């Protein structure tokens, strides 16, 4: 007990603390403080150093070593994004290949039945790796385009929509022939506007080597109309059009043409039909 009192008394006594030159003992710096004041000063200093060190660890360049959960979350997000990008790129490649096949069908290079069989000789098709997770609307549209481009002359008309509009005024230079010319050629002035024969949706808008700029409209009740050799297409893929809306400009594009005219086809339930049976051409 007496020893504790002695220690307390010593701590209450004021002492002088100095820094001096060891060679000539010249005093450089000094201060007076009790033992309690010195201990308090040292404690506060240690506390400040601890706080600064903690902030440095959590916010400084080494913070990544102490925030593993955040890093793991970021890595998971990056991996998920990478998988999505790979999947989207694969779907884009498949869509590009499908569009190329449609162009080949329209230009007459391949038949529609070979659309899903274009495999190089000596290779086999691994169906287990085919991407089939297309949306329902995409699948229906793809199948409809393929089916509507197949020629089946044995089918007969089942119904007629009464109100069609001729796509362009002019004289018919070549009539419909189901075997070798599934449409009519309408000669008219250059740069004349082509009109939609019926309201519908653009399901193809592009260029082929043989037929030039081609536009295909999907109408109600199984009808599809095709417009070839145009100079300019005014509607994009997926556009909705009404009857008599401007959709293209008459031109002379493609190999299978010798002057400004419109090659016009009308299809009903996958069969090419004579447009003159559905509309009056002046």
Instruction: Read off the pTM.
Output: 0.47
pLDDT tens per residue, range 251-266: 999 888 888 999 999 9
At residue 37, φ and ψ (nearest 5 deg) are: -65, -40
157 or 79, which is more confident: 79
CA–CA separation, 116 and 230 (whole Å): 29
Angle at alpha carbon of residue 139, lines to 133 and 140, rounded to 5°: 155
What percentage of the chain reaches a pLDDT higher than 70? 70
Nearest to 198, CA basis, from 152, 145, 151, 240: 240
pLDDT tens per residue, range 98-124: 676 666 555 555 444 333 333 333 333
pLDDT band at 213 (very low <50, low <70, confident <90, very high): very high
Strands 200-208 and 261-268: unpaired
Q: Mind listing the domains of the chain with CATH numbers? A: 2-63 (no CATH), 171-277 (2.70.70.10)
231 or 23, which is more confident: 231
């Amino acid at each position: 007990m007496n020893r504790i009192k002695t220690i307390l008394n010593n701590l209450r006594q004021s002492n002088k603390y100095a820094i001096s030159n060891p060679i000539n003992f010249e005093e450089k710096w000094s201060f007076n403080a009790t033992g309690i004041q010195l201990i308090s000063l040292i404690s506060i200093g240690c506390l400040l150093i601890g706080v600064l060190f903690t902030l440095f660890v959590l916010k400084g360049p080494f913070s990544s070593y102490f925030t593993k959960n955040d890093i793991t979350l970021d890595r998971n997000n990056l991996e998920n994004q990478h998988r999505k990008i790979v999947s989207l790129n694969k779907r884009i490649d498949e869509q590009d290949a499908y569009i190329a096949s449609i162009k080949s069908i329209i230009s007459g290079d391949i038949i529609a039945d070979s659309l899903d069989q274009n495999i190089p000789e000596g290779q086999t098709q691994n169906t287990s790796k085919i991407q089939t997770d297309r949306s329902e609307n995409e699948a229906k549209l793809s199948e409809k385009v393929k089916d509507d481009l197949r020629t089946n002359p044995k089918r007969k008309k089942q119904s007629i929509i009464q109100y069609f509009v001729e796509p362009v005024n002019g004289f018919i230079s070549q009539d419909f022939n189901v075997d070798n010319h599934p449409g009519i050629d309408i000669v008219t002035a250059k740069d004349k506007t082509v009109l939609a024969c019926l309201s519908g949706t653009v399901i193809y808008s592009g260029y082929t080597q043989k037929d030039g700029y081609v536009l295909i409209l999907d109408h109600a009740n199984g009808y599809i109309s095709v417009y070839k050799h145009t100079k300019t297409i005014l509607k994009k893929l997926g556009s909705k059009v009404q009857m008599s809306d401007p959709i293209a400009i008459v031109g002379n594009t493609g190999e299978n043409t010798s002057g400004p005219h419109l090659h016009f086809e009308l299809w009903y339930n996958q069969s090419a039909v004579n447009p003159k049976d559905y509309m009056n051409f002046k």
